[in-house]
Amino acid sequence: MKLYRNLTIRQKQIVWAWGFLALPVVFYGVIRFYPTFNAILISFQDWNLLGERRWAGLANYRRLVADPVFWKVFGNTFLYLIIGTPVSLVLSFVVAYHLDRARFMHGFLRMLYFLPFMTSAVAMAWVWRWFYQPVPIGLFNNFLASFGIAQVSFLNSTTNALPSVLAPAVWAGLGFQIIIFMAGLRAIPQSYYEAARIDGVSSWTVLWEITLPLLRPTIVFIVVFSSIGFLRIFDHVYNMTTNNPGGPLNATKPLVLMIYETAFTSFDMGYAAAQTVVLFLVLLVVSLVQLRLLSDR
């Protein structure tokens, strides 16, 4: 206490600041940083989860480079990103843009769009899996059959499986993105729109020259948040393809599902850790590139 009383006001402020920061620092050190560094260490080892760890050097990474399944899964992961992010971004903006102008049942409609985001991903995946079943069970194929159209193999086709799994994933995150877009739209000062109306500017010009530029911070957040979600997609794929995890010929398998199977089915923790490190680097690079390209200059 005597030492504390002898401190200057600035030094006391620093002591109190670190006192409040101590708990979050310890939390992130134990929960976040330690597992991350431990995973990097395990990626250079050979470990079956039960026995002793043995140093393997770069063997796990050389195995990754030579593994055709890994490259197939790596391509699937980027397909989820490349297709899912722009589709969800455009859909959520279109819905938010028109919903922001709706006055009749506005709160109820907003709740309906947000409801899928609050629904369990497991329950949602199994409902959509039922939709995709062949006749006479599946909703979509029954609808096609009523018009005399041949049934579609949604989850058992190498070409249809990935879009079929991606559709409910996009739909599930749509509500959150709509709410964020609406918050961004409400934050735009109305004086810009009033000045545009006085000058007789068209609605299309207002959209491109006022709305979208002022929504840039919102768009950056949604793109980065959505991209991370699609790169880490797991629940929908796992639950919609439980009979054949990853779909036919690994057509829908993402990197997270491969990590899960390698670690807890094959019990090859070193190889799974190497895949985890690759996923971490991909997430880091994609996020930094997007922030660099989309942020204000």
**Residue spans per domain, the chain:** 67-294
C-alpha distance across the termini of the chain, in Å: 50
Q: What is the pLDDT of residue 36?
A: 87
- Considering the segment(s) 67-294 as one domain, its CATH architecture is Orthogonal Bundle (1.10)
% of the chain surpassing 70 pLDDT: 98
* 74: its two tokens: 């790596």
Q: What is the pLDDT of residue 2?
A: 66
Cα–Cα distance measured from residue 236 to residue 223, given in angstroms and rounded to the nearest whole number: 20
Q: Which residues are CB-neighbours of 176 under 8 A, at least 6 positions away? A: 114, 117
pLDDT above 60: residue 240: yes
This prediction has a pTM of 0.87
- Burial pattern 131-165, b for ≥16 Cβ within 10 A else e, equals bbbbeeebebbeeeeeeeeeeebbbbeeebbbbbb
What's the pLDDT tens digit per position in 164-191? Answer: 999 999 999 998 999 999 989 988 888 8
Q: What is the pLDDT of residue 105?
A: 75
* Length, in residues, of the chain: 297
What's the pLDDT tens digit per position in 194-210? Answer: 888 888 888 888 888 88
